[in-house]
Structure 1
Amino acid sequence: MTAGITTLASAASGTSRSSTTSDAATLAGNFDQFLTLLTTQLRNQNPLDPLDTNQFTQQLVQFASVEQQLKSNDRLDALLSASKASSSASAAGLIGQTVTSSGITAPLANGAAAWTLNAARAATRATLTIADAKGNVVATQTKALAAGTQTFTWDGRNSTGMLASDGTYTLKVQAFDATGQKVTVDTKVTGVISSVDVSGSDPILTIDGKTVPLSSVQAIGAASGG
Protein backbone atom coordinates (compact mmCIF):
# COMPACT_ATOMS: atom_id res chain seq x y z
CA MET A 1 0.00 0.00 0.00
CA THR A 2 2.90 2.34 0.79
CA ALA A 3 4.20 1.80 -2.73
CA GLY A 4 0.85 3.02 -4.05
CA ILE A 5 1.15 6.23 -2.02
CA THR A 6 4.67 6.85 -3.31
CA THR A 7 3.50 6.36 -6.89
CA LEU A 8 0.76 8.92 -6.41
CA ALA A 9 3.23 11.38 -4.95
CA SER A 10 5.59 10.90 -7.88
CA ALA A 11 2.76 11.45 -10.35
CA ALA A 12 1.83 14.66 -8.59
CA SER A 13 5.45 15.87 -8.74
CA GLY A 14 5.39 15.51 -12.52
CA THR A 15 2.52 17.99 -12.75
CA SER A 16 4.78 20.77 -11.41
CA ARG A 17 6.25 21.22 -14.89
CA SER A 18 3.10 23.06 -16.00
CA SER A 19 0.94 25.77 -14.50
CA THR A 20 -2.35 25.01 -16.24
CA THR A 21 -5.67 24.56 -14.48
CA SER A 22 -5.70 20.87 -15.35
CA ASP A 23 -2.44 20.42 -13.41
CA ALA A 24 -4.00 21.88 -10.29
CA ALA A 25 -7.07 19.66 -10.72
CA THR A 26 -4.86 16.58 -11.15
CA LEU A 27 -2.90 17.46 -8.02
CA ALA A 28 -6.11 17.90 -6.01
CA GLY A 29 -7.41 14.54 -7.23
CA ASN A 30 -4.14 12.79 -6.39
CA PHE A 31 -4.10 14.38 -2.95
CA ASP A 32 -7.63 13.13 -2.24
CA GLN A 33 -6.54 9.62 -3.28
CA PHE A 34 -3.48 9.94 -1.08
CA LEU A 35 -5.58 10.85 1.95
CA THR A 36 -7.96 7.97 1.24
CA LEU A 37 -5.09 5.48 1.06
CA LEU A 38 -3.49 6.98 4.17
CA THR A 39 -6.72 6.70 6.14
CA THR A 40 -7.22 3.11 4.98
CA GLN A 41 -3.68 2.19 6.00
CA LEU A 42 -4.08 3.74 9.44
CA ARG A 43 -7.33 1.85 10.00
CA ASN A 44 -5.85 -1.48 8.96
CA GLN A 45 -2.30 -1.26 10.27
CA ASN A 46 -0.89 -3.95 12.49
CA PRO A 47 -0.77 -2.64 16.07
CA LEU A 48 2.39 -4.67 16.65
CA ASP A 49 4.04 -3.20 13.53
CA PRO A 50 2.72 0.36 13.03
CA LEU A 51 3.38 2.26 9.82
CA ASP A 52 6.26 4.72 9.66
CA THR A 53 4.88 8.20 10.40
CA ASN A 54 8.05 9.82 9.03
CA GLN A 55 7.20 8.50 5.57
CA PHE A 56 3.71 9.98 5.77
CA THR A 57 5.16 13.33 6.80
CA GLN A 58 7.63 13.33 3.91
CA GLN A 59 4.89 12.59 1.40
CA LEU A 60 2.67 15.35 2.79
CA VAL A 61 5.57 17.78 2.52
CA GLN A 62 6.13 16.65 -1.07
CA PHE A 63 2.51 17.38 -1.97
CA ALA A 64 2.73 20.81 -0.31
CA SER A 65 5.91 21.55 -2.26
CA VAL A 66 4.27 20.64 -5.56
CA GLU A 67 1.27 22.82 -4.76
CA GLN A 68 3.53 25.79 -3.99
CA GLN A 69 5.43 25.24 -7.25
CA LEU A 70 2.19 25.32 -9.23
CA LYS A 71 1.25 28.61 -7.59
CA SER A 72 4.72 30.02 -8.30
CA ASN A 73 4.45 29.02 -11.96
CA ASP A 74 1.07 30.75 -12.22
CA ARG A 75 2.55 33.95 -10.79
CA LEU A 76 5.58 33.77 -13.10
CA ASP A 77 3.31 33.37 -16.14
CA ALA A 78 1.31 36.40 -15.03
CA LEU A 79 4.49 38.43 -14.57
CA LEU A 80 5.80 37.41 -18.00
CA SER A 81 2.51 38.38 -19.64
CA ALA A 82 2.53 41.74 -17.89
CA SER A 83 6.17 42.32 -18.86
CA LYS A 84 5.48 41.50 -22.50
CA ALA A 85 2.46 43.80 -22.56
CA SER A 86 4.52 46.62 -21.05
CA SER A 87 7.37 46.04 -23.52
CA SER A 88 4.93 46.03 -26.45
CA ALA A 89 3.32 49.26 -25.29
CA SER A 90 6.73 50.91 -24.89
CA ALA A 91 7.81 49.72 -28.35
CA ALA A 92 4.64 51.04 -29.96
CA GLY A 93 5.39 54.45 -28.44
CA LEU A 94 8.68 54.53 -30.37
CA ILE A 95 6.98 54.73 -33.79
CA GLY A 96 8.17 57.91 -35.48
CA GLN A 97 11.20 58.19 -33.19
CA THR A 98 14.80 58.18 -34.41
CA VAL A 99 16.79 55.40 -32.78
CA THR A 100 20.25 53.88 -33.02
CA SER A 101 20.51 50.10 -32.87
CA SER A 102 23.64 47.99 -32.40
CA GLY A 103 22.88 46.26 -35.70
CA ILE A 104 24.81 43.09 -34.89
CA THR A 105 21.60 41.03 -34.79
CA ALA A 106 19.07 40.53 -37.56
CA PRO A 107 16.04 38.27 -38.01
CA LEU A 108 16.17 35.52 -40.62
CA ALA A 109 12.85 35.26 -42.44
CA ASN A 110 11.91 33.92 -45.86
CA GLY A 111 15.49 32.84 -46.48
CA ALA A 112 17.14 36.22 -45.93
CA ALA A 113 18.75 38.26 -43.17
CA ALA A 114 20.40 41.64 -43.79
CA TRP A 115 22.90 43.77 -41.90
CA THR A 116 24.13 47.30 -42.56
CA LEU A 117 27.94 47.56 -42.52
CA ASN A 118 29.95 50.76 -42.45
CA ALA A 119 33.65 50.17 -43.15
CA ALA A 120 36.07 52.91 -42.12
CA ARG A 121 38.02 52.20 -45.32
CA ALA A 122 38.18 49.53 -47.99
CA ALA A 123 38.94 46.01 -46.75
CA THR A 124 40.47 43.44 -49.08
CA ARG A 125 39.54 40.59 -46.74
CA ALA A 126 36.64 40.49 -44.33
CA THR A 127 35.46 37.42 -42.47
CA LEU A 128 31.77 37.52 -41.63
CA THR A 129 30.70 34.99 -39.00
CA ILE A 130 27.02 34.30 -38.39
CA ALA A 131 25.86 32.71 -35.14
CA ASP A 132 22.43 31.64 -33.89
CA ALA A 133 20.72 32.77 -30.70
CA LYS A 134 22.65 30.18 -28.69
CA GLY A 135 26.00 31.41 -29.97
CA ASN A 136 26.59 28.47 -32.31
CA VAL A 137 28.36 29.44 -35.55
CA VAL A 138 26.13 28.47 -38.49
CA ALA A 139 27.89 30.13 -41.43
CA THR A 140 31.11 31.94 -42.34
CA GLN A 141 31.80 34.02 -45.43
CA THR A 142 34.91 35.83 -46.65
CA LYS A 143 34.62 38.81 -48.98
CA ALA A 144 35.98 42.28 -49.72
CA LEU A 145 34.26 45.38 -48.37
CA ALA A 146 34.12 48.80 -49.93
CA ALA A 147 34.65 51.89 -47.81
CA GLY A 148 31.48 53.37 -46.37
CA THR A 149 27.97 52.05 -45.85
CA GLN A 150 26.80 48.87 -47.53
CA THR A 151 24.35 46.03 -46.98
CA PHE A 152 25.33 42.42 -46.36
CA THR A 153 22.55 39.91 -47.04
CA TRP A 154 22.75 36.29 -45.88
CA ASP A 155 20.71 33.72 -47.79
CA GLY A 156 20.08 31.71 -44.63
CA ARG A 157 22.17 28.70 -45.64
CA ASN A 158 24.55 27.21 -43.11
CA SER A 159 28.02 25.79 -43.67
CA THR A 160 26.54 22.54 -45.03
CA GLY A 161 24.30 24.33 -47.53
CA MET A 162 21.10 23.62 -45.58
CA LEU A 163 18.60 26.40 -44.94
CA ALA A 164 18.73 27.54 -41.33
CA SER A 165 15.54 27.93 -39.33
CA ASP A 166 13.98 31.36 -38.93
CA GLY A 167 15.12 33.30 -35.89
CA THR A 168 17.53 35.98 -34.72
CA TYR A 169 21.17 35.72 -35.81
CA THR A 170 24.29 37.64 -34.84
CA LEU A 171 26.99 38.89 -37.21
CA LYS A 172 30.65 39.34 -36.30
CA VAL A 173 33.02 41.03 -38.76
CA GLN A 174 36.82 40.96 -38.85
CA ALA A 175 38.26 43.00 -41.70
CA PHE A 176 41.77 43.87 -42.91
CA ASP A 177 43.10 46.17 -45.63
CA ALA A 178 45.75 45.41 -48.27
CA THR A 179 48.56 46.11 -45.78
CA GLY A 180 47.14 43.72 -43.19
CA GLN A 181 45.89 46.49 -40.91
CA LYS A 182 42.61 45.93 -39.14
CA VAL A 183 39.64 47.84 -40.54
CA THR A 184 36.87 49.02 -38.23
CA VAL A 185 33.44 47.93 -39.44
CA ASP A 186 30.47 49.53 -37.69
CA THR A 187 27.14 47.73 -37.73
CA LYS A 188 25.04 50.43 -36.07
CA VAL A 189 21.74 51.33 -37.69
CA THR A 190 20.18 54.76 -37.23
CA GLY A 191 16.79 55.71 -38.59
CA VAL A 192 13.13 56.40 -37.95
CA ILE A 193 10.92 53.57 -36.67
CA SER A 194 8.01 53.05 -39.05
CA SER A 195 6.39 49.98 -37.47
CA VAL A 196 6.65 47.52 -34.60
CA ASP A 197 5.95 43.77 -34.68
CA VAL A 198 4.98 42.54 -31.20
CA SER A 199 3.98 38.99 -32.16
CA GLY A 200 7.21 37.46 -30.83
CA SER A 201 8.92 37.45 -27.45
CA ASP A 202 11.02 40.50 -28.38
CA PRO A 203 9.34 43.32 -30.33
CA ILE A 204 10.85 43.80 -33.80
CA LEU A 205 11.30 47.36 -35.06
CA THR A 206 11.33 48.39 -38.71
CA ILE A 207 13.90 51.14 -39.23
CA ASP A 208 14.09 52.57 -42.74
CA GLY A 209 13.07 49.23 -44.21
CA LYS A 210 15.36 47.14 -41.98
CA THR A 211 14.20 45.05 -39.03
CA VAL A 212 15.98 45.01 -35.67
CA PRO A 213 14.94 43.66 -32.25
CA LEU A 214 13.99 46.19 -29.59
CA SER A 215 16.66 44.76 -27.27
CA SER A 216 19.39 45.97 -29.65
CA VAL A 217 18.41 49.66 -29.42
CA GLN A 218 21.28 51.69 -27.97
CA ALA A 219 19.98 55.24 -28.18
CA ILE A 220 16.77 57.14 -28.84
CA GLY A 221 17.22 60.44 -30.61
CA ALA A 222 20.30 61.68 -32.46
CA ALA A 223 22.86 59.08 -33.50
CA SER A 224 25.81 58.66 -31.19
CA GLY A 225 29.34 58.86 -32.44
CA GLY A 226 31.42 55.78 -33.42
Structure 2
Amino acid sequence: MAVSNTSPTTTAGFQNTSSTTSGSSTVSGSQTAIAGNFDQFLSLLTTQLKNQSPLDPLDTNQFTAQLVQFAGVEQQLKMNDTLSALLTLNKATTTTDAVGFIGATITADGATAPLKNGAAYWSVNMASAGTANITVKDSSGSVVRTMTTSLAAGEQTVQWDGSTSTGAIAPAGDYTITVDATDVSGQAVVAKTEIIGVVDSIDLSSGTPMLKIGTISVPIDKVKKVIKG
Protein backbone atom coordinates (compact mmCIF):
# COMPACT_ATOMS: atom_id res chain seq x y z
CA MET A 1 0.00 0.00 0.00
CA ALA A 2 1.47 3.34 -1.00
CA VAL A 3 0.30 6.94 -0.88
CA SER A 4 1.01 9.49 -3.60
CA ASN A 5 -0.48 12.60 -5.24
CA THR A 6 0.00 11.16 -8.74
CA SER A 7 -2.17 8.75 -10.72
CA PRO A 8 -2.06 5.20 -9.32
CA THR A 9 0.14 2.56 -10.92
CA THR A 10 -0.62 -1.14 -10.88
CA THR A 11 0.92 -3.08 -8.00
CA ALA A 12 0.15 -6.39 -6.40
CA GLY A 13 -2.90 -6.31 -4.19
CA PHE A 14 -4.21 -2.88 -3.27
CA GLN A 15 -2.83 0.60 -3.60
CA ASN A 16 -4.32 3.83 -2.30
CA THR A 17 -3.31 7.27 -3.56
CA SER A 18 -4.48 10.70 -2.37
CA SER A 19 -6.30 12.50 -4.62
CA THR A 20 -38.39 12.37 -18.49
CA THR A 21 -40.78 9.79 -21.00
CA SER A 22 -43.38 9.22 -18.23
CA GLY A 23 -43.83 12.97 -17.78
CA SER A 24 -44.68 13.46 -21.47
CA SER A 25 -47.21 10.62 -21.34
CA THR A 26 -48.96 12.19 -18.34
CA VAL A 27 -49.19 15.55 -20.08
CA SER A 28 -50.48 13.93 -23.27
CA GLY A 29 -53.18 12.03 -21.36
CA SER A 30 -54.30 15.14 -19.46
CA GLN A 31 -54.36 17.19 -22.64
CA THR A 32 -56.56 14.61 -24.37
CA ALA A 33 -59.01 14.67 -21.44
CA ILE A 34 -59.15 18.47 -21.41
CA ALA A 35 -59.61 18.60 -25.19
CA GLY A 36 -62.55 16.19 -24.89
CA ASN A 37 -64.18 18.33 -22.21
CA PHE A 38 -63.50 21.42 -24.32
CA ASP A 39 -65.31 19.95 -27.35
CA GLN A 40 -68.21 18.87 -25.16
CA PHE A 41 -68.44 22.35 -23.65
CA LEU A 42 -68.61 23.97 -27.11
CA SER A 43 -71.31 21.53 -28.21
CA LEU A 44 -73.44 22.20 -25.12
CA LEU A 45 -73.01 25.98 -25.36
CA THR A 46 -73.90 26.02 -29.07
CA THR A 47 -76.97 23.86 -28.47
CA GLN A 48 -78.06 26.10 -25.62
CA LEU A 49 -77.75 29.23 -27.79
CA LYS A 50 -79.67 27.63 -30.67
CA ASN A 51 -82.52 26.45 -28.47
CA GLN A 52 -82.93 29.46 -26.20
CA SER A 53 -86.41 30.99 -26.11
CA PRO A 54 -86.72 34.45 -27.69
CA LEU A 55 -89.08 35.30 -24.84
CA ASP A 56 -86.61 34.05 -22.23
CA PRO A 57 -83.08 34.52 -23.62
CA LEU A 58 -79.94 33.31 -21.85
CA ASP A 59 -79.16 35.40 -18.79
CA THR A 60 -76.26 37.79 -19.48
CA ASN A 61 -74.47 36.91 -16.25
CA GLN A 62 -74.79 33.20 -16.95
CA PHE A 63 -73.56 33.68 -20.51
CA THR A 64 -70.56 35.67 -19.24
CA ALA A 65 -69.73 32.96 -16.71
CA GLN A 66 -69.79 30.34 -19.45
CA LEU A 67 -67.48 32.45 -21.61
CA VAL A 68 -65.06 32.70 -18.67
CA GLN A 69 -65.16 28.91 -18.40
CA PHE A 70 -64.51 28.72 -22.12
CA ALA A 71 -61.43 30.95 -21.76
CA GLY A 72 -60.20 28.86 -18.82
CA VAL A 73 -60.40 25.63 -20.79
CA GLU A 74 -58.57 27.21 -23.73
CA GLN A 75 -55.84 28.46 -21.38
CA GLN A 76 -55.44 24.97 -19.91
CA LEU A 77 -54.88 23.55 -23.38
CA LYS A 78 -52.24 26.16 -24.17
CA MET A 79 -50.47 25.57 -20.85
CA ASN A 80 -50.35 21.83 -21.49
CA ASP A 81 -48.92 22.41 -24.97
CA THR A 82 -46.21 24.59 -23.43
CA LEU A 83 -45.45 22.08 -20.67
CA SER A 84 -45.20 19.24 -23.17
CA ALA A 85 -42.76 21.26 -25.29
CA LEU A 86 -40.66 22.10 -22.23
CA LEU A 87 -40.50 18.44 -21.17
CA THR A 88 -39.40 17.42 -24.66
CA LEU A 89 -36.72 20.12 -24.68
CA ASN A 90 -35.52 19.11 -21.21
CA LYS A 91 -35.23 15.46 -22.25
CA ALA A 92 -33.20 16.42 -25.33
CA THR A 93 -30.90 18.62 -23.23
CA THR A 94 -30.38 15.86 -20.65
CA THR A 95 -29.50 13.36 -23.38
CA THR A 96 -27.01 15.79 -24.94
CA ASP A 97 -25.42 16.38 -21.54
CA ALA A 98 -25.13 12.62 -20.94
CA VAL A 99 -23.38 12.02 -24.28
CA GLY A 100 -20.75 14.53 -23.17
CA PHE A 101 -19.66 12.09 -20.43
CA ILE A 102 -18.47 9.44 -22.92
CA GLY A 103 -14.71 8.97 -22.60
CA ALA A 104 -14.53 10.78 -19.26
CA THR A 105 -13.38 9.25 -15.98
CA ILE A 106 -16.02 9.73 -13.31
CA THR A 107 -16.34 9.19 -9.58
CA ALA A 108 -19.84 8.21 -8.51
CA ASP A 109 -21.75 6.85 -5.53
CA GLY A 110 -21.43 3.08 -5.30
CA ALA A 111 -19.20 0.19 -4.31
CA THR A 112 -19.19 -1.96 -7.47
CA ALA A 113 -16.48 -1.24 -10.04
CA PRO A 114 -15.19 -3.11 -13.11
CA LEU A 115 -11.90 -5.02 -13.09
CA LYS A 116 -10.50 -4.18 -16.51
CA ASN A 117 -6.97 -4.47 -17.91
CA GLY A 118 -5.73 -5.69 -14.54
CA ALA A 119 -7.08 -2.86 -12.39
CA ALA A 120 -10.19 -1.76 -10.53
CA TYR A 121 -10.52 1.57 -8.75
CA TRP A 122 -12.55 2.97 -5.89
CA SER A 123 -12.49 6.19 -3.93
CA VAL A 124 -12.60 5.80 -0.15
CA ASN A 125 -13.29 8.78 2.08
CA MET A 126 -12.19 8.21 5.67
CA ALA A 127 -13.66 10.28 8.49
CA SER A 128 -10.26 10.07 10.19
CA ALA A 129 -6.95 8.30 9.66
CA GLY A 130 -6.83 4.66 10.66
CA THR A 131 -6.87 1.06 9.54
CA ALA A 132 -9.21 -0.32 6.89
CA ASN A 133 -10.20 -3.94 6.36
CA ILE A 134 -11.18 -4.18 2.70
CA THR A 135 -13.17 -7.13 1.33
CA VAL A 136 -13.62 -7.72 -2.39
CA LYS A 137 -16.53 -9.84 -3.64
CA ASP A 138 -17.37 -11.02 -7.15
CA SER A 139 -20.76 -10.69 -8.83
CA SER A 140 -22.01 -13.87 -7.13
CA GLY A 141 -21.14 -12.53 -3.66
CA SER A 142 -18.12 -14.78 -3.11
CA VAL A 143 -15.12 -13.23 -1.33
CA VAL A 144 -12.09 -13.18 -3.63
CA ARG A 145 -9.71 -10.98 -1.63
CA THR A 146 -9.32 -9.41 1.79
CA MET A 147 -6.74 -6.79 2.67
CA THR A 148 -5.83 -4.71 5.69
CA THR A 149 -4.19 -1.35 5.04
CA SER A 150 -3.65 2.07 6.56
CA LEU A 151 -5.66 4.94 5.10
CA ALA A 152 -5.36 8.66 5.70
CA ALA A 153 -8.22 10.94 6.65
CA GLY A 154 -10.17 12.26 3.67
CA GLU A 155 -10.55 11.00 0.12
CA GLN A 156 -8.08 8.60 -1.50
CA THR A 157 -8.01 6.12 -4.35
CA VAL A 158 -7.87 2.39 -3.66
CA GLN A 159 -6.63 0.22 -6.52
CA TRP A 160 -6.92 -3.55 -6.83
CA ASP A 161 -4.86 -5.44 -9.38
CA GLY A 162 -7.13 -8.48 -9.50
CA SER A 163 -4.97 -10.78 -7.38
CA THR A 164 -7.02 -13.12 -5.18
CA SER A 165 -6.35 -14.48 -1.70
CA THR A 166 -5.12 -17.73 -3.30
CA GLY A 167 -2.61 -15.91 -5.50
CA ALA A 168 -4.62 -16.37 -8.70
CA ILE A 169 -5.76 -13.53 -10.95
CA ALA A 170 -9.48 -12.82 -10.93
CA PRO A 171 -11.20 -12.64 -14.33
CA ALA A 172 -12.43 -9.33 -15.70
CA GLY A 173 -15.84 -8.40 -14.36
CA ASP A 174 -17.65 -6.38 -11.73
CA TYR A 175 -16.41 -6.48 -8.14
CA THR A 176 -17.79 -4.94 -4.96
CA ILE A 177 -15.83 -3.78 -1.93
CA THR A 178 -16.83 -3.29 1.68
CA VAL A 179 -14.63 -1.25 4.00
CA ASP A 180 -14.61 -1.70 7.78
CA ALA A 181 -12.42 1.00 9.28
CA THR A 182 -11.17 1.99 12.73
CA ASP A 183 -9.23 5.06 13.84
CA VAL A 184 -5.87 5.00 15.64
CA SER A 185 -7.62 4.38 18.96
CA GLY A 186 -9.51 1.39 17.58
CA GLN A 187 -12.89 3.10 17.35
CA ALA A 188 -15.03 2.43 14.28
CA VAL A 189 -15.06 5.27 11.74
CA VAL A 190 -17.13 5.93 8.64
CA ALA A 191 -15.47 5.04 5.33
CA LYS A 192 -17.58 6.08 2.34
CA THR A 193 -16.92 4.29 -0.95
CA GLU A 194 -17.36 5.56 -4.51
CA ILE A 195 -16.56 3.91 -7.82
CA ILE A 196 -14.10 5.25 -10.38
CA GLY A 197 -14.29 4.36 -14.06
CA VAL A 198 -14.41 5.51 -17.67
CA VAL A 199 -17.83 6.07 -19.24
CA ASP A 200 -17.92 4.07 -22.48
CA SER A 201 -21.58 4.41 -23.49
CA ILE A 202 -25.00 5.86 -22.64
CA ASP A 203 -28.15 3.77 -22.10
CA LEU A 204 -31.38 5.56 -23.09
CA SER A 205 -33.71 2.54 -22.97
CA SER A 206 -35.34 3.51 -19.66
CA GLY A 207 -36.15 7.04 -20.79
CA THR A 208 -33.61 8.45 -18.32
CA PRO A 209 -30.00 8.56 -19.59
CA MET A 210 -27.74 6.16 -17.67
CA LEU A 211 -23.95 6.38 -17.86
CA LYS A 212 -22.36 2.98 -18.53
CA ILE A 213 -19.00 1.88 -17.11
CA GLY A 214 -18.78 -1.52 -18.70
CA THR A 215 -21.98 -3.23 -17.52
CA ILE A 216 -22.42 -0.89 -14.55
CA SER A 217 -25.17 1.74 -14.86
CA VAL A 218 -24.69 5.11 -13.15
CA PRO A 219 -27.47 7.73 -12.92
CA ILE A 220 -26.17 11.19 -13.79
CA ASP A 221 -27.25 12.57 -10.43
CA LYS A 222 -24.92 10.07 -8.68
CA VAL A 223 -21.79 11.47 -10.37
CA LYS A 224 -19.52 13.26 -7.90
CA LYS A 225 -16.51 14.12 -10.04
CA VAL A 226 -15.65 14.20 -13.76
CA ILE A 227 -12.13 14.01 -15.21
CA LYS A 228 -11.89 14.54 -18.95
CA GLY A 229 -9.40 12.24 -20.67
Instruction: Report the TM-score, using the length of structure 2 for normalisation.
Output: 0.51
User: How well do the aligned residues superpose, as a CA RMSD in angstroms?
Assistant: 4.0
Task: Indicate the residue corresponding to 2:69 in structure 1.
Answer: 62
Task: Indicate the residue corresponding to 2:17 in structure 1.
Answer: none
**Closer, same or farther: CA 25–76 of 1 in aligned 2, 3 Å:** same
Task: Indicate the residue corresponding to 1:79 in structure 2.
Answer: 86
Q: Which has the higher contact order (CA 8 A, sep 6+)?
A: 2
Task: Indicate the residue corresponding to 1:151 in structure 2.
Answer: 176
Asked if 2 retains the 8 angstrom alpha-carbon contact of 1:100 and 1:190, the reply is yes
Residue type of the partner of 2:219?
Answer: P
Task: Indicate the residue corresponding to 2:30 in structure 1.
Answer: 18
Residue type of the partner of 2:176?
Answer: T
- Which structure has the larger Rg? 2
Structure 2, unmatched stretches of 5+, are 1-27, 113-121, 134-146, 150-157, 160-174
**Closer, same or farther: CA 117–97 of 1 in aligned 2, 3 Å:** closer
1:146 Cα offset (Å): 7.1
* CA deviation vs aligned residue, 1:101-149 (integer Å, no higher than 9, x gap): 2x1599xxxxxxxxx78474437xxxxxxxxxxxxxxxxxxxxx97667
Asked if 1 retains the 8 angstrom alpha-carbon contact of 2:31 and 2:77, the reply is yes
Task: Indicate the residue corresponding to 2:197 in structure 1.
Answer: 191
Task: Indicate the residue corresponding to 2:52 in structure 1.
Answer: 41
**Closer, same or farther: CA 207–75 of 1 in aligned 2, 3 Å:** same
Query: Secondary structure at 2:74's aligned position in 1?
Result: helix
Structure 1, unmatched stretches of 5+, are 1-15, 107-115, 124-144, 154-172
Paired with 1:28 and 1:105, the residues of 2 have a C-alpha distance of: 55
**2:103 aligned to which of 84, 96, 107:** 96
How many residue pairs get matched?
154
1:71 Cα offset (Å): 1.4
Asked if 2 retains the 8 angstrom alpha-carbon contact of 1:204 and 1:214, the reply is yes
Residue 189 (structure 2) pairs with residue 182 (structure 1) = yes
Task: Indicate the residue corresponding to 1:31 in structure 2.
Answer: 42
Q: Which has the higher helix share?
A: 1
1:182 Cα offset (Å): 2.6
**Closer, same or farther: CA 152–23 of 1 in aligned 2, 3 Å:** farther
**2:217 aligned to which of 202, 211, 215:** 211
Asked if 2 retains the 8 angstrom alpha-carbon contact of 1:117 and 1:152, the reply is no
**Closer, same or farther: CA 204–44 of 1 in aligned 2, 3 Å:** farther
